[in-house]
Amino acid sequence: MRLEDLGAKVHHNLNVGKLVEYALKKEGAALTDTGALSINTGKYTGRSPSDRFIVDSPSVHDEVNWGKVNVPIKTEVFDKLYDRIMDYLKSKEVYVFDGFVGADSNYRMPIRIINEFAYQNLFSQQLFIKPKEGELHNFQPEFTVITAPGCITNPELDGTNSEAFIILNLEKKIIIIGGTKYCGEIKKSIFTVMNYLLPFKGVMPMHCSANVGKDGDVALFFGLSGTGKTTLSADGNRMLIGDDEHGWTDDGVFNFEGGCYAKCIRLSKENEPKIWNAIRFGTVLENVVLNEVGEPDYNSEEFTENTRAGYPVSYIDNALESGTGGNPSTIVFLTADATGVLPPISKLTKEQAMYHFMAGYTSKLAGTERGIIEPTATFSTCFGAPFMPLSPQTYAELLGKKIDKHDAKVYLVNTGWSGGGYGVGKRMKLAYTRAMVNSAIEGKLDHVKYEIDPIFNLAIPTECPEVPHGVLNPANVWADRNAYNQAAEKLAKDFVENFKKFKGVSQEIINAGPKA
Catalytic option among 192, 230, 233, 283: 230
The length of the chain in residues reads 516
Judge whether 229 counts as a catalytic residue.
yes
pLDDT at residue number 365: 59
Judge whether 391 counts as a catalytic residue.
no
Judge whether 244 counts as a catalytic residue.
yes
Query: How would residue 512 be classed by pLDDT, with cut points 50, 70 and 90?
Result: very high
Same fold, 3-26+47-201 and 204-258+322-511: no
pLDDT at residue number 271: 86
pLDDT at residue number 70: 96
CA 52 to CA 71: how far, in whole Å?
7
CA 100 to CA 258: how far, in whole Å?
9
- DSSP labels for 47-106? B-GGGEEEE--TTTTTTS--SSSS-EE-HHHHHHHHHHHHHHHTTSEEEEEEEEE-SSTT
Q: What is the mean pLDDT of the chain?
A: 94
Catalytic option among 188, 238, 350, 364: 188
Catalytic option among 45, 47, 153, 453: 47
Task: Count CB neighbours of 480 within 10 A.
Answer: 11
pLDDT at residue number 364: 67
Query: Could you report the per-residue pLDDT of 26-84, keeping only the tens digit for each?
Result: 999 999 999 999 999 999 999 999 999 999 999 999 999 999 999 999 999 999 999 99
End-to-end CA distance of the chain: 55
- Is 3-26+47-201 a CATH 3.40.50.300 domain? no
Tell me which DSSP letter residue 337 carries. Answer: -
- Average pLDDT rounded to a whole number, residues 492-503: 94
This prediction has a pTM of: 0.92
Query: Could you report the per-residue pLDDT of 238-266, keeping only the tens digit for each?
Result: 999 999 999 999 999 999 999 999 999 99
Helix (H, G, I), strand (E, B) or coil at 152: coil
pLDDT at residue number 452: 96
Judge whether 225 counts as a catalytic residue.
yes
Write down the CATH superfamily of domain 260-315.
Phosphoenolpyruvate Carboxykinase, domain 2 (2.170.8.10)
Catalytic option among 41, 225, 346, 433: 225
Residue 327 has pLDDT above 70, yes or no: yes
Q: Which CATH architecture has domain 204-258+322-511?
A: Alpha-Beta Complex (3.90)
Q: Out of 123-127, 313-317, 457-461, which region has the weakest mean confidence (pLDDT)?
A: 313-317
Judge whether 230 counts as a catalytic residue.
yes
Q: Positive or negative, the Cα torsion across 67, 70, 73, 74?
A: negative
- DSSP labels for 271-336? T-HHHHHH-STT-EEES-EE-TTS-EETT--SS-S--EEEEEGGGSTTB-TT-EE--EEEEEEEE-
Domain boundaries, the chain: 3-26+47-201, 204-258+322-511, 260-315
Catalytic option among 92, 112, 187, 229: 229
CA 47 to CA 380: how far, in whole Å?
15
